[in-house]
Amino acid sequence: MTFDGFDLSGKVAVVTGAAQGIGKALAIGLAQAGATVAVTDRPDMDSRMCDVQAQIESTGGIARTYHLDVTATRCISSVFERIATDLGHLDILVNNAGTGIACAAIDVTEEEWDRILDLNLKGQFFCAQAAARLMATQGGGRIINVASTHALIALPDGAPYIASKGGVASLTRSLALEWIRLGINVNAIAPGPVETEYKREVDVRLGRTPESIRLDMERRVPLARRLDPAELVGGVIYLASPSAAAVVGHMLVVDGGQIIH
């Protein structure tokens, strides 16, 4: 007897910001769990999106790529409709696209504030809305928003990012309450510090050394290191799977113990 509660075979999943980092790992992981994956990201990330598709297909998975800039809100619905038409339906949305900032709050400009909130919060809402409209016509689906431990704890020099992720956490609960009656489960995952291309760029810009990063992680995270993006895959598969049918409006923290420290 086998347990297939985490099997996503026959499901179609959309992952935003899937060309690199966390989104890439989640797209590959969902495909390994059996889902057909729509790999989406900005047009300038096209070659990286194609690389993700190739990785999925090299192990027998099915993937398609679609250009989607989540800050271009007027285009979101048409992209989701095209995905549903091409792939037959839409069952899972992983709302991952986002970015950060390393800037003292007193120096943040209005343009920087708008850039972070438009991408991290406004973009997530309108992607969720577009997905929900399609899911409602087919009897339901799963939406998984990527929040952050910074929805729960604060650090210096990231006020717009922290505000946006706090918004994602609250948005998740609100949408879950409204849409469960449509058969749509809305939940979130809250990663702790994750080793990504963006994080490495910030390290270089701020002059962080491997030793300083190691000491910082030992001080702040019981696991004493940054997470690998692949370590988030299991949580997302769970929330997308039949096993999480009764999980509604939850934010699953995957953080190496950061918030209990």
Active site residues: 161
**Is residue 231 exposed (0-12), middle (13-18) or buried (19+ Cβ within 10 Å)?**
middle
Positive or negative CA dihedral for 11, 56, 234, 135? negative
Q: What angle do CA 251, 254, 258 make, to 5 degrees?
A: 105
Q: Where are the beta strands (DSSP E) in the chain?
A: 12-15, 36-41, 63-67, 92-95, 141-146, 184-191, 251-254
Please give the structure tokens belonging to residue 213: 């990063």
Closest among 188, 165, 193 to 257, alpha carbons compared: 193
Query: How many whole angstroms separate alpha carbon 133 and alpha carbon 84?
Result: 11
What is the rounded distance in angstroms from the CA atom of residue 15 to the CA atom of residue 96? 7
Q: Are 33 and 237 in contact (CB under 8 A)?
A: yes
Name every residue whose Cβ is closer than 8 Å to that of residue 30 and which is 6 or more positions away in sequence. 8, 13, 15, 37, 92, 94, 233, 236, 237, 240
Residues 6+ apart with CB under 8 A from 47: none
Is 30:15 a contact under the CB 8 Å cutoff? yes
